[in-house]
Amino acid sequence: MCVRRCLEGVRVYKFRFNRQEYLIAYQLLHANVDVNKLNINILSIDFYQVGLHENFYSSLKRYLRKE
């Protein structure tokens, strides 16, 4: 079953705009880089989807399976 594996590490932020609830799916990616003996931490954010709550998770899972 892909539910846990597809959504593992993906976070969702909910917000309201014009009386409608929206969701944003994203994933935080961390990396440590050692450049000239300087330890640099890099944080990047991959945004996957923004949309209404209706069918959000099922369409997100379909998208992540194709990726």
- Inform me whether the pLDDT recorded for 1 exceeds 50: no
Whole-structure pTM value = 0.71
Residue 44 makes CB contacts below 8 A (sequence gap 6+) with: 28, 29, 31
Residues 39-59: tens digit of each pLDDT: 777 788 889 999 998 889 889
pLDDT averaged over the chain? 84
Domains: count for the chain: 1
What value does the mean pLDDT take over residues 12-17? Answer: 94
Containing domain of residue 62, as a range?
2-66
Residue environment code for 10-42, b if the CB has 16+ CB neighbours within 10 A, otherwise e: beeeeeeeeeeeebebbeeeeeeeeeeeeeeee
Q: What is the mean pLDDT of residues 2-30?
A: 85
